[in-house]
């Protein structure tokens, strides 16, 4: 199991980004969270199989490409701390 911590920059708030991330994460049985940050970025932390995480990242980038200016992805070992994927406020 792997973990990704991703920061998205651009016009990523108020455009359905979190709901799209949540839908895709659930589609691939990923666990973790997504939230808007005070500085207008969106952060995603997700855990699951490496292949599913890669597909999730590619699909999210494709679906939200017109809103993303930059994404910073960090890969880490999974911790198993999450029970589901959710939107954090």
Catalytic-residue membership of 18: yes
Alpha helices in 1-89 (DSSP H): 17-27, 50-63
Catalytic residue among 3, 11, 18, 88: 18
Q: Are 9 and 42 within 8 A, CB to CB?
A: no
Catalytic residue among 3, 11, 36, 62: 36
Picking from 51, 39, 41, the residue whose alpha carbon sits closest to that of residue 75 is 51
Catalytic-residue membership of 62: no
Kindly list the catalytic residues.
18, 36
């Amino acid at each position: 199991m792997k973990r990704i911590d991703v920061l998205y920059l651009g016009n990523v708030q108020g455009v359905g980004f979190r709901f799209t991330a949540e839908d895709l994460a659930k589609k691939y049985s990923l666990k973790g969270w997504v939230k808007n940050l005070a500085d207008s970025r969106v952060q995603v932390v997700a855990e699951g199989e490496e292949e599913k995480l890669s597909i999730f990242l590619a699909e999210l980038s494709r679906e939200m490409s017109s809103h993303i200016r930059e994404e910073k992805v960090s890969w880490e070992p999974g911790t198993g701390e999450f029970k589901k994927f959710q939107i954090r406020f």
